[in-house]
């Protein structure tokens, strides 16, 4: 159930790397329990925004509040404590190659809750069942698994700490349509079972339409005017196809639109 109370509040956020500005004056409030999809072209700052939310990237201006606490005012120990309230599902699963599936899933518990070791096995088996994997995979290494299975192991690891917020970075990238829909179904089931707040960075509109309550679309700063907003859509997923902004509808429909002309002009200069 979505609450009126925001669990994440982003204010006047600016992020740059050297001379390259990636995020400019981002404002975003995420209510507790909402599933938000952040869409947009490559290079518009979607993943940078995710990493800034959990304090892996420090903004040059503005700040992120999580549960009414400003992340930029926390020391490293306090920041580490807050991060245990998040689960992060990385684009390529980001499993430890030298560890077995069991060791990968258990890693957060062993790092943060070593005194509860007696319950670790039970927690691991429960999460494994939730993502639809058999116990026979526990002794395997990530290289022995398919891409879809690695994604599901990554989700099981993200769930092991029972987080309040789940962050997904391109959860269906590189997967065939059937496996992609399996991942989408797992995200829906996870949301419904645990009532977590979810933020999903994705290019996949099928994911956005199936899983999200809300869609925000960012646009690359290199392609907009200095005083223009980087957020070009914020609303119901079903409204993306009827948006009055042609940039939104072209992205949603996968149409090249004016990009071919732009590419031709860039090649000619």
Average pLDDT along the chain: 91
Statement: residue 245 has pLDDT above 90 = yes
* Whether the Cβ atoms of residue 213 and residue 235 lie closer than 8 Å to each other: no
> Which whole-number Å values give the CA distances from 149 to 128, 131, 144, 175, 178, in the listed order?
11, 9, 10, 10, 13
Q: pLDDT tier at 256 (50, 70, 90 boundaries)?
A: confident
92-124 confidence digits (pLDDT tens)? 778 999 999 999 999 999 888 887 787 899 999
- CA dist 76 and 82 (Å) reads 10
pTM summary value: 0.90
The C-alpha angle with vertex 55 and arms to 157 and 226, in degrees rounded to 5, equals 125
pLDDT (mean) for 131-152: 94
Tokens, residue 205 = 């509109």
CA neighbor of 190 nearest in space, from 209, 211, 207, 204: 211
188-232 confidence digits (pLDDT tens)? 999 998 889 999 999 999 999 999 999 999 999 999 998 899 999
160-175 confidence digits (pLDDT tens)? 999 999 999 999 988 8
CA neighbor of 223 nearest in space, from 255, 258, 250: 258
* Whether the Cβ atoms of residue 98 and residue 92 lie closer than 8 Å to each other: no
All structural domains of the chain: 6-85+164-268 (3.40.50.300), 97-162 (no CATH)
């Amino acid at each position: 159930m979505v609450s009126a109370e925001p669990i994440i509040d982003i204010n006047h956020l600016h992020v740059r790397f050297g001379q390259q500005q990636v995020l400019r004056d981002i404002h975003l409030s995420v209510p507790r329990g909402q599933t938000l999809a952040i869409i947009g072209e490559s290079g518009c700052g979607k993943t940078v925004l995710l990493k800034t939310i959990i304090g892996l990237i420090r903004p040059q201006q503005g700040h992120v509040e999580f549960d009414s606490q400003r992340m930029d005012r926390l020391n490293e120990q306090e920041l580490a404590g807050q991060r245990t309230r998040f689960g992060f599902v990385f684009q390529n699963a980001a499993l430890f190659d030298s560890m077995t599936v069991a060791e990968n899933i258990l890693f957060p518990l062993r790092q943060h809750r070593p005194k509860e070791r007696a319950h670790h096995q039970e927690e691991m088996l429960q999460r494994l069942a939730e993502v639809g994997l058999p116990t026979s995979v526990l002794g395997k290494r990530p290289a022995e698994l398919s891409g879809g299975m690695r994604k599901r192991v990554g989700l099981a690891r993200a769930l092991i700490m029972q987080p309040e917020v789940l962050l997904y970075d391109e959860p269906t990238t590189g997967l065939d349509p059937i496996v992609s829909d399996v991942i989408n179904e797992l995200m829906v089931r996870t949301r419904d079972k645990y009532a977590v707040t979810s933020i999903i960075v994705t290019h996949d509109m099928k994911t956005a339409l199936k899983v999200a309550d809300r869609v925000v679309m960012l646009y690359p700063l290199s392609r907009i005017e200095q005083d223009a907003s980087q957020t070009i859509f914020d609303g119901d997923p079903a409204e993306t196809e009827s948006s009055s902004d042609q940039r939104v509808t072209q992205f949603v429909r996968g149409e090249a639109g004016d990009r071919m002309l732009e590419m031709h002009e860039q090649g000619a200069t």
